[in-house]
Structure 1
Amino acid sequence: MKELRNFFIVLLPVVFLCQTVQAQAEDPPGWDFPEDKEKNQIARTKNALYTDALKLEQYEEAKNHLYWLLVNNPELNESIYINGIKIYETLSEESQDPEQKAVYADSVMKLYDLRLKYFNEKEDVLNRKAFSAYKLWRDQEERYEDLYRIMQEAFSASGEQFWPQNAVAYMDAARRFKSSGGELSDMEVINLYDSLDGILAQQEKTSQDSETVKALRDQLDNILAATISASCEDIEKNLGSMLKERPEDIKLAKVIIKLSFASQCTDSPLFTQAVRLVQEKEPSVGLAKLLATKAAEAGEFDVAIQSYENAISLTEDPLEKAQLYVGLAEIYSRQGNRSAARQQAMKALEFDPSLNSVYTFIGNLYFNSYEQCRKGQSQVEDRLVFIAAYDMYQKAGNTEMMAKAREQFPTVTMLFEDNLQAGEQMTLGCWINRTVTLQAAPK
């Protein structure tokens, strides 16, 4: 028995040495174990122990074994940094000791730096570093400047490949840094916003999840409004003076538009000026419609009509065209041009026959034309406008207005005096110019 025990004592180192030699020969590409046999053996053991502990979520034990690799075999494999970041992030998040929590968080940032040093992949690693920094430091005011600088570095290195979620994190990091007294001017924040929004706008066009990117852009708008002095007076003073100096700066105009929306400053002349500039450089249906609305509010009906016509020319969507024709019809109506108003309303129905409200609109045009169209020679003729209005309300299914129109029909007495009967056809002239069927008002 003693001889057998001694045999195994002698045999074990040999077996382990053979396994080590065999492992060295079979190491896949990307692994760089030490050439020194003793260190090689330790490195393999530590690597196995820390990965086993990680699988079991024993992060403290995993950290202890990993530490030896980081110090003695830093170029072993990129995985020691990928896993190491996971280990130290988890330890930081789970720790209840603020000081220890901070130490672990600092270790995460150090591991990112080491990963860059030994394995490069700058763009991807800096994006990941920025994401981790925001997660670990966003509530640590003393680290706001560090967080902002890490975001700045990642953005500078990544450009258009900057992660969409990091764009919002970067904007929020700027907000936190500025609010804590950091030296960051409103204009620097605006320029940052402009750059980040530009990248997200491009990603929204190409992303398979454009709705998520759009939501991130909305978050960006909200953070901008919360970061700088966004009163209407400040927008007018700060951004207005800038636009005066740079009247062709479309990016600045876009910022003014978004900030004005966020701060409910859309009644200012600066807002309208910015919208006109963007519409001139980058025509869109939405901005053309907005300009039409603003012009109508100001009583500039000719400008409103031109803007609506511009909007109509910019879209091929039939439903959108229909709505724009409705808006155009309303402008003509306010201008007193009822014939043109009806014409545009009928065009709206050509593009969207389901717009029942348009029939009510035309009915109102007829109903309100009594004074304009009455000749004072025949009460029956003068009241034909209400029959024409009733026909439109009926098409709209508007029973309330049908009842009001019916009350204004010529009475049985009026029909008798003009030697007319219900059911006869009569031509209504004026601007309406259509044939109606005589009906008598209810008794």
Structure 2
Amino acid sequence: MNTKVLFTIAAGLVLSTSSLSAQATDCATTASIAYEHAKVRNWEAAEGPLWKVRKECPTHSVATFQFGKKLLEAKYKKATGAAKTALGNDMIALWKERLQYFPAKTKVGDMHSDIGQIMYDNKIGTKESQFAEFNKAWTEDKKNFSSPKKVYTFFYLLVELQSAGKKELQDVFNLYDGVIEKIEDEESKKAKTISELTEKEESGAALTSKEKKRLKTYGKILNNYSKVKAGVNQKLGELADCKNLIPLYTGQFESKKTDVAWLKGAAGRMSAKECTDDPLFFKLVEALHKAEPSAKSAYYLGLLALKDKKTSKAMEYFNQSAQLETKASDKAKVYFKMGEVMKKQGSKSKARSFYKKALANKPSMGICYLRIANMIGSSANACGADKFRKQAVYWLAERYARKAGRIDPSLKKTANGLAANYKAKAPTKTDIFNNPEITSVKIGCWIGETVKVPKL
């Protein structure tokens, strides 16, 4: 190869390298300008350079798509009609591009559930295609499918498709179980933190600004999940009533009586809907215990023993169920049931013990705090040496009632009403003023706790 040809090739390589280098420099400069504007939410100034980077050098940084999403969301909130739908389609396109260029930095659950919600909100595509997006998020990345609103829409679409004859009733029940489990898992995580921060606050320690923000945010999230759970249960409605469950499971029983997963689901749903008086429930429990003696079968045998007024036997089965149960939320339900039985028997100390065990396994189970508050409040006259100390019991009852509302927003109205009632029965400011030597009250009998006297 002669010298002239070699020189031509070398020159071409230099020019090509220089061109790529210049393009990379231009991308970095344009991206820097776009990102700086985006950081202060100056979307009008950010839009031009941001879309330039997106088009000409999409692999430059995932920040292009992160800021792009925020930009489109800001415009989407203000848009109406056709403009809103168009922006919805733009958001979907942006998500897909991000997945194309940054698959490792894109959460499938977040992406597909977001796309499904945008499609649903703007009537883009059919209900089947909307449902398919949510279902992909649910089956491939449930961990990052956590938005309360999206969880509800997902379930709503399935019920609608079932009503139209495009999905089976069993599909609805299966998803219901999964959705409720997801909601309760998320609730427990948030409620545990709220409970810990509340305990810290009540001890007199000051919360940091970060902890205060977290307490407020988690409270809102719990409130949203509470609404979603109520909405899901309402949407399920009559589909899960005994009149539908009994014929459905009766028809499936012979072919499914050795299917442990099916037996657990059927018995669980009939138990939840209080269809336990029907002979089918006994058949389900008997078959389940025969196929796989477990926490679930022991629990249902306990229910049947209660029905026959064999309380001691029922508690044996429940205890066995609690010991065998590996899932925290289900273990909590067993302990709650045991607490209910003991409360009905008048064994308040034992009942409280079981309620606290339930809370240890499911921190969002506010009903346990309400039950404890009720038992403490009803014991005021029996657990104090004098009037002041008897009335001081209501401060403790109030504290438990308020805890119930904090960790379970669905109980907030009831809990706050009960707390206000207890507060009204507690010592007044005059009582506190007249007893300055009393700074705390150690409550006796079965309660055995100490309550601080509020400062004037």
Structure 1 pair 62–271 and aligned structure 2 pair: CA distance change class (3 A): farther
Give distance in 2, aligned partners of 1:174 and 1:141. Answer: 12
Correspondence for 1:101: 84
Name 2:419's counterpart in structure 1.
none
Give CA-to-partner distance per residue, 1:102-143, whole Å, 9 cap, x none.
Answer: 121122222221111111127x52122134235534434444
1:74 corresponding residue in structure 2: 58
Q: Contact (CA 8 Å) 1:105, 1:136: kept in 2 or not?
A: yes
What one-letter code is carried by the residue in structure 1 that aligns with 2:115?
A: A
Aligned to 1:128: 110
Q: Per-residue displacement from partner, 1:57-115 (whole Å, max 9, x unpaired)?
A: 2334423322111111111111111111121122222212x211112112222222111
Structure 1: how far apart are the matches of 2:246 and 2:351?
41
Contact 1:78 1:119 in 2 (8 A): yes
Once the two structures are TM-superposed, the CA of residue 312 in structure 1 deviates from its matched residue by 5.0
- Alignment pair present for 1:178 and 2:156: no
Measure the CA separation in 1 of the matches of 2:41 and 2:286: 59
Change (3 A) 1:53 1:177: farther
| Post-superposition offset of 1:290 | 2.5
Unaligned segments of structure 2, at least 5 residues: 1-17, 194-217, 324-333, 354-380, 383-456
> Counterparts of 1:73-92 in structure 2 under 5 Å?
73-92=57-76
* Distance apart, 1:195 and its partner CA: 4.5
1:11-70 Cα offsets, whole Å, 9 max, x none, are xxxxxxxxxxxxxxxxxxxxxx98252x44542343233223323423344233221111
Q: Please tell me the residue identity of whatever aligns with 1:245.
A: S
> 2:265 & 2:187 partners in 1: Cα distance?
18
Do structure 1's residue 147 and structure 2's residue 130 form an aligned pair? yes
Matches within 5 A, 1:347-366: none
The equivalent of 1:232 in structure 2 is 242
Query: How many angstroms apart in 2 are the aligned matches of 1:164 and 1:269?
Result: 39
Equivalence for 2:208: none
Q: Secondary structure at the match of 2:20?
A: coil
* 1:51 and 1:62 in contact (8 A); partners too: yes
Q: Quick check: which one's helix share is greater?
A: 2
Q: Check conservation: 1:230, 1:263, Cα contact below 8 A.
A: yes
Matched, 1:113 2:113: no
**Could you say which residue in structure 1 is the equivalent of 2:358?**
none
Match of 1:246 in 2: 256
In 1, Cα distance between equivalents of 2:352 and 2:82: 69
Query: Aligned letter for 1:127?
Result: G
| 1:179 Cα deviation from its structure 2 partner | 6.6
Give the Cα separation in 2 of the matches to 1:225 and 1:170: 13
Aligned partners of 1:349 and 1:188: how far apart in 2? Answer: 42
Report SS of the residue matched to 1:117: helix
Q: How many pairs align?
A: 295
| Aligned residues of 2:155 and 2:176 also touching (Cα < 8 A) | no
Determine if the alignment matches structure 1 residue 306 to structure 2 residue 319. Answer: no
| Distance of aligned partners of 1:45 and 1:275 in 2 relative to their CA distance in 1, 3 Å threshold | same
Match of 1:333 in 2: none
The alignment partner of 2:239 has SS state of coil
Whole-angstrom CA distance in 2 between matches of 1:34 and 1:127: 39
3-state secondary structure, aligned to 1:110? helix
Does 1:282 pair with 2:266?
no
Q: Given that residues 339 and 350 in structure 2 are in contact (C-alpha distance below 8 angstroms), is that contact kept between their aligned partners in structure 1?
A: yes
Letter in 2 for 1:101: K
Higher relative contact order (CA 8 A, sep 6+): 2
TM-score between both structures, scaled by the size of structure 1: 0.52
- Note if contact 1:288-1:308 (Cα within 8 Å) is conserved in structure 2: no
Equivalence for 2:389: none
Q: 1 CA distance for matches of 2:24 and 2:60?
A: 10
Which sits farther off after the overlay, 49-58 or 306-315?
306-315
What is the CA–CA distance in structure 2 between the aligned matches of 1:350 and 1:125, rounded to whole Å?
47
Q: CA RMSD in A?
A: 4.6
Tell me the SS of whatever aligns to 1:188.
helix
The whole-number CA distance in structure 2 between the counterparts of 1:108 and 1:320 is 47
Match of 2:20 among 30, 35, 45: 35
Contact 2:109–2:136, Cα closer than 8 Å, also in 1: no
Q: CA deviation at 1:201?
A: 7.0
AA at the equivalent of 2:303: L
- Alignment partner, residue 31 of structure 2: 47
- Paired with 2:180 and 2:340, the residues of 1 have a C-alpha distance of 30
Q: Partners in 2 of 1:34 and 1:128 — Cα distance? A: 38
Q: Distance in 2 between matches of 1:103 and 1:54?
A: 22
Q: Deviations over 1:387-439 (max 9, x none)?
A: xxxxxxxxx98xxxxxxxxxxxxxxxxxxxxxxxxxxxxxxxxxxxxxxxxxx
Using the size of structure 2 for normalisation, the TM-score is 0.51
State the partner residue of 1:293: 306
Deviations 1:192-230 (Å, cap 9, x if unpaired)?
33455566677788x475698999599558626624733
Bigger Rg, which one: 1
Q: Which runs of 5+ in 1 are unaligned?
A: 1-32, 331-344, 355-395, 398-443
In structure 1, which of residues 208, 220, 223 is the aligned counterpart of residue 232 of structure 2? 223
Give, in whole Å, the separation in 1 of the partners of 2:69 and 2:20.
26
Q: 2:145 aligned with 1:163, yes or no?
A: yes
